[in-house]
Amino acid sequence: MATENLSAIVYGKNDLRLENRPIPEPGPNEVLLRMGQVGICGSDVSYLTKLAIGHFIVKSPMVLGHESAGTVVKCGEKVKHLKKGDRVAIEPGVPCRMCDLCKAGRYNLCQDVYFCATPPDDGNLCRYYKHAADFCFKLPDNVSLEEGALCEPMSVGVHACRRAGVFLGSSVLICGAGPIGLVNLLVAKAMGAAKVCITDLVENRLNLAKELGADHTLLVKSGSPEELAKQVEAAMGGCVDITIECCGAEPSICMGIYATKSGGVMVIIGHGPAEVKMPIINAATREVDIRGVFRYANCYPATLEMIASGKVNVKRLITHRFKLEESHQAFETARTGAGGAVKVMISCE
Ligand code: NAD
Ligand code: ZN
């Protein structure tokens, strides 16, 4: 077996280094993986350029990457459901499995979680990485490692659409057409949404959204949240059942409330400023439920089935491909959005 483990490590602001780290030894319930594909998430870019997201701060060198898939090269002695050679999607957050939230199945809310590339936990933009075997999901033969890596962002969409109650015939507004808005578009459509309207500030993202099946797009240029909500209403033939907020900007959250019909639901995925002023009384007096979304729980199996069955074509999100050795260029592309970058994928093979 190889003796080197090239890893992409953030050392400081805009200081990304490729260096060899030891190949880890899997514990009894873990597998050692040869990394295949790793997508770059906005959070990886933030940790590299700002060293922080909210109260998560990079205080010591950290391996980036958490949207990933790889191949099993070694199994811990207690691992039963995987074997050497299996290709797997890696669910990056391993919770404690002991607390009340874990026991209730809401393990995404566990306070004692190892989450790849959330400081201080190392990610897996590297050649070899070990992970809890029960958070590795075997890929069917017709699902590629790239698609396996995309299970991560897509699971955010599955969790959000479940929390929002997307159902046959739903009308849905999605705010923001970045990777997260776009996976929500794909998932909402697959879950039976009849009509989806998606917004963004950038035209080329809306063009991709149209190709992916958006029924209406709204280029947000000017106008108050109420005026923009009126435009959504006009396009959709009324207020929407569900709004899925995927950018976190204050005006967008406000617009989402106004655009949602009485008795409807708005889920908030986007993380903007920590405090946001919004028309909460408008929502309250119209019984618009506002629900949070944090990552996902129990979503990988459904996500994989949707990809394997061809119901969701998530690989359309990939706009750029690089090798691990080209990580600097990959991160620069993701940071600047150069060439219409949406999802930048890095091959570690
Ligand atoms: P992104 O930055 O690539 O996409 C956000 C999009 O929103 C961009 O295309 C941007 O042009 C657009 N936008 C900005 N302001 C807007 C406005 N006022 N109206 C309409 N569109 C606007 O980010 P992403 O990777 O797609 O992630 C989206 C958000 O979701 C981020 O805030 C991210 O931190 C968050 N996120 C949350 C979770 C979670 O578990 N809750 C998981 C992943 C990502
Ligand atoms: Zn727990």
| 109 secondary structure, DSSP code | G
Residue 242: pLDDT band by 50, 70, 90 thresholds?
Answer: very high
The tokens describing 261, both together, are 């019909």
Question: Residue 41 CA: which ligand 1 atom is closest?
Answer: 25
- Over pLDDT 70: what percentage of the chain? 100
239 lines ligand 1 (CB under 6 A): no
- Of the listed ranges 75-79, 98-102, 254-258, 271-275, the one predicted with least confidence: 271-275
Kindly give the distance from the C-alpha atom of residue 221 to the centroid of ligand 1, in angstroms, as a whole number. 16
Looking at residue 3, its pLDDT comes to 77
Kindly give the distance from the C-alpha atom of residue 291 to the centroid of ligand 1, in angstroms, as a whole number. 17
Residue 1 pLDDT more than 70? no
pLDDT (mean) for 171-186: 98
246 lines ligand 1 (CB under 6 A): yes
178 lines ligand 1 (CB under 6 A): yes
Looking at residue 151, its pLDDT comes to 98
202 lines ligand 1 (CB under 6 A): yes
The answer for residues whose C-beta is within 8 angstroms of residue 332's C-beta and 6 or more apart is: 338
Domains of the chain, each with CATH number or no CATH: 6-150+314-347 (3.90.180.10), 156-292 (3.40.50.720)
182 lines ligand 1 (CB under 6 A): no
CA–CA gap between residue 134 and residue 328 (Å, rounded): 32
pTM of the model: 0.98
Looking at residue 325, its pLDDT comes to 98
Kindly give the distance from the C-alpha atom of residue 190 to the centroid of ligand 2, in angstroms, as a whole number. 31
Dihedrals φ, ψ of 63, to 5°? -70, 130
Mean per-residue pLDDT of the chain: 97
pLDDT (mean) for 137-155: 98
- Tell me the sheet residues that pair with 346: 38, 322
Tens of pLDDT, residues 333-348: 999 999 999 999 999 9
pLDDT (mean) for 150-171: 98
Q: Is the dihedral angle over the CA atoms 207, 185, 40, 33 positive or is it negative?
A: negative
CA–CA gap between residue 238 and residue 254 (Å, rounded): 17
Return the best residue to mutate from 41, 116, 180 for the ligand 1 pocket (most ligand atoms within 8 A of CB): 180
